[in-house]
Copies of this chain bind each other. A is one copy, B any other.
Amino acid sequence: MTTFVPANARRTVSPHLPFGEMRGGKFYKQDILSIKQFDHDDIEFVFGVAEEMRAMVERVGTFDLLKGKLIANLFYEPSTRTSSSFAAAIQRLGGSVIQINDVKYSSVSKGESLPDTVRTLEAYVDAIVLRHPETGSAAIAAAAAHKPVINAGDGIGEHPTQALLDLFTILEELGRLDGLTVTMLGDLKYGRTVHSLSRLLALFNAKLRYVSPDILRMPEEVVGELKTQGVSQTEHRELGGLLAETDVLYVTRVQKERFADLAEYESVKGAYVITPDTMTAAKDHMVLMHPLPRVGEISTEVDADPRAAYFRQVQYGMYVRMALLALVLGKA
């Protein structure tokens, strides 16, 4: 397993080759449904394209790589962050978006099936970004569609672009991905992001540390799967002792809507809060991440700490989505 070369260095390796030349074809016209589609080298390739996107946005803001391309943002449940991220991504590439935010105002309220909705929309657009509350819906949509479908979250299923942006954040912040100690904190049971990120980190020789209340432990399904791959994993009730070795601290929200019993929610929600004291005990070169929105899990006093990467994480997400859009539409 090779170590990632930091971004700036990597960009100089073969300056005369158009990027995306070799592996780009693999993603052209493909759906992006699951992180399982990506092996180590695919991720390295996608992140190379994402770094090109970052460089272009920082230099010129917007450019015309996907001029004239049109995507649909088909959101069966609200997610301002994700839908805005895809909307910004396509528009910064010179394309446009048809936003379908609120399904009760769509023909779905007349009882249309997801495959029919997808086949209708693909008559208008070049790719469909789908957010849907039901696991497996993205695969159903992709099977019906002739145009690429990008899964922007299907219930407790997958949200592959979130997992990729989390990993890309680590790369951009630390300059490498291999052999890091990554501590995940909070709701590890219902937090879809930590499951996917753990699986991706397994490709990069990570040591995983899970810190959660007992009722919100990392599911046995994930732990068992990574164990067979020989990944170093340990479980903890408290964060303190782990800070000295932690390269990445990934904090998750304890989501009220996941609890059947509100009293249970109240009993755990404040248990794992990051404060300036936490940061004092942490390593100097360390990344503090959160998928957002946060509701108190990280004190706002921490925001000014240079290690607090959660708002930059949002921006890295746009670069990753720009890269994926360019790849599936054949322009990267």
When chains A and B are docked, how far (Å) is the Cα of A330 from the Cα of B207? 47
**Contact, CB under 8 Å: B84 / A124:** yes
Q: Which residues on B sit within 8 Å (CB–CB) of A121?
A: 84
> Does A11 count as interface, using CB distance less than 8 angstroms?
no
Does A314 make an interface contact (CB < 8 A)? yes
Would you call B84 and A295 a contact (CB within 8 A)? no
Q: Tell me which of A64-72, A182-190, A260-268 binds B.
A: A64-72
Picked from B78, B91, B94, B108, the residue with its CB within 8 Å of the CB of A109 is: B78
The reply to whether B120 and A314 contact each other, CB–CB distance below 8 Å, is yes
Known pairs A68-B61, A315-B123; A78 contacts B98 (CB<8 A): no
Contact check, A88 vs B315: say whether CB atoms are below 8 A apart: no
- Are A124 and B88 touching (Cβ within 8 A)? yes
Q: A112 CA to B81 CA in the complex, in Å?
A: 11
Q: Copies of this chain, how many? A: 3
Whether A311 sits at the interface, judged by CB under 8 Å, is yes
Report chain B residues within 8 Å CB of A255: 110
- Whether A295 lies near B111 (C-beta < 8 A) is yes
Interface residues on A, range: 35 or more
A233 CB–B CB distance under 8 Å? no
Question: Which of these, B70, B85, B123, contacts A314 with CB under 8 Å?
Answer: B123
Given contacts A79-B107, A85-B124, contact A62 B72 (CB under 8 A): no
In A303-332, the 8 Å CB interface with B consists of 311-312, 314-315, 317-318
Q: Which residues of B contact A92 (CB under 8 A)?
A: 68, 70
| Chain B hits for A292, CB < 8 A | 107, 112, 116, 120
A293 proximity list for chain B (CB < 8 A) = 107, 110-112, 116-117, 120
Give the shortest distance, in Å, between A70 (CB) and chain B (any CB). Answer: 6
Which B residues are CB-close (under 8 A) to A106? 78, 80
Residue of B nearest to A88 (CB): B124
Closest to A85 in B: B124
A interface with B by C-beta (< 8 Å): 60-63, 67-70, 72, 78-81, 84-85, 87-88, 91-92, 94, 96, 98-102, 104-112, 115-117, 119-121, 123-126, 253, 255-257, 292-295, 300, 311-312, 314-315, 317-318
> Can you list 28 A-B pairs with a CB-CB distance of less than 8 A?
A62-B69, A63-B68, A68-B94, A70-B91, A78-B107, A79-B107, A80-B107, A80-B117, A81-B107, A84-B100, A84-B121, A84-B124, A85-B124, A87-B124, A88-B98, A88-B124, A101-B105, A107-B293, A110-B295, A111-B256, A111-B295, A112-B294, A115-B300, A116-B293, A120-B314, A123-B314, A123-B315, A124-B315
6 residue pairs, one from A and one from B, having the closest CB atoms? A62-B68, A88-B124, A78-B105, A112-B293, A80-B106, A123-B315
